[in-house]
Structure 1
Amino acid sequence: MTRSTFTRRALLRVFAASAVSAAPVMANAFGFLRGAGDIRKLSMYNGRTGESMDMIYWIDGDYVGPALDEVNHFMRDWRQNEVRRIDTRTIDIMAAAHNLLETSEPYTLLSGYRSAATNAMLRSRSRGVARHSRHMTGEAADLRINSRSVSQIARAAAACNAGGVGRYSGSNFVHMDCGPVRTWGR
């Protein structure tokens, strides 16, 4: 049995001709882009580490393991250099919301996974950090897109009807998670 390895660049080349950017037709992030030849893509920049990623992480009904590994590493707790598996439901919500925003600008990731130590440190500095944050279980992300307002991003995430959406207008970011459907903030 031979094992073929696909690099991110090879996958992008293979699917570039057939990739169609389509907004979800259902109000559920997990139901979007179904059918033959479908892909899901995620594009992000991390100002803390200077890293960028732009990749296909799901092809025709299957998650791409090496791509998810890269997402996990990208969304790591950079303060502790600790990696945790990011829940694919959160990744799907992020991708669906981005599609709805109709922009090619990547998300800026402010916070993905947080270790207990990092969460405690941030909590000591801010009232807005939950003691049992979904960030600590790899189920949340704090994101911004410079060309879109907090309200626009939050509306797109809430339209997925698939998790929590927090608006932090004063800090210019939106929290997305795969927990119960709920919204908060201004």
Structure 2
Amino acid sequence: MTMTNGSGMTRRGLLGAFAATALIAAPTYSNAFGFLRGAGDIRRIRMHSGRTGESIDTIYWIEGKYIPEAMAEINHFMRDWRSGARIEIDARTIDIMAAAHRMMDVTEPYLMLSGYRSPQTNAMLRSRSRGVAKTSLHMHGKAADLRLKSRSVGQMAKAAEACASGGVGRYSRSNFVHMDCGPVRSWGG
């Protein structure tokens, strides 16, 4: 799909121009939103799904505004891969993920293990594991379970906790970190 912004420039052309721009940020802010404000006029998220084989590398925010087309791509990417169901992913969760990624100074995309979960998928997972919450924020598009090859669970969790903007769960035995935009809290080891 090619979209233009009224000036004749396509969305892809605009994003390509911004993607070539170096991002500079000072990790002195106390939350994800402040940290990303220090990133200049763009926000970017990079993820891969081993479940679907899909990847996303998109700038989703420019000069104070979320890009609807990029947010729709993220919503599709973070869908419940088991059922294909999707909802609108809370932009605050994406901001936390993006800020933590920037703090870790990596170019490797996140491996997304779980984004949105339908209530049916959540119930099925809950029946198999006591680590799945009955009222999981995954069911509301407010959480993601992520992994990086180049960073430990501890390093990822510390970056997410530095955002002070939501929940951070350490799942060291399963090698992933849960990030959400719910109340600020942390758990796991």
TM-score by structure 2 length? 0.92
Percentage of pairs with the same residue:
66
Q: Deviations over 1:135-164 (max 9, x none)?
A: 000000000001100000000000000000
2:64 corresponds in structure 1 to: 61
1:123 corresponds in structure 2 to: 126
Query: Structure 1 segments of 4 or more deviating over 6 A?
Result: none
1:31 positional shift: 1.5
RMSD between aligned residues: 1.7
1:24 positional shift: 3.7
What does residue range 6-155 of structure 1 map to in structure 2 within 5 Å? 6-7=10-11, 9-34=12-37, 38-155=41-158
Change (3 A) 1:104 1:35: closer
User: Do the aligned partners of 2:87 and 2:116 also contact (CA within 8 Å) in 1?
Assistant: yes
Q: Distance in 2 between matches of 1:131 and 1:159?
A: 27
1:25 positional shift: 2.9
Q: Distance in 2 between matches of 1:6 and 1:82?
A: 29
For 2:49, give the aligned amino acid: N
Q: Deviations over 1:11-61 (max 9, x none)?
A: 332213434142543011111233795110000000000000001000111
User: Do the aligned partners of 1:19 and 1:38 also contact (CA within 8 Å) in 2?
Assistant: no
TM-score by structure 1 length? 0.93
For 1:22, give the aligned amino acid: A
Q: Distance in 2 between matches of 1:11 and 1:44?
A: 20
Gaps of 5+ in 1: none
Change (3 A) 1:166 1:86: same
Q: Distance in 2 between matches of 1:21 and 1:42?
A: 15
Gaps of 5+ in 2: none
Q: Distance in 2 between matches of 1:44 and 1:77?
A: 15
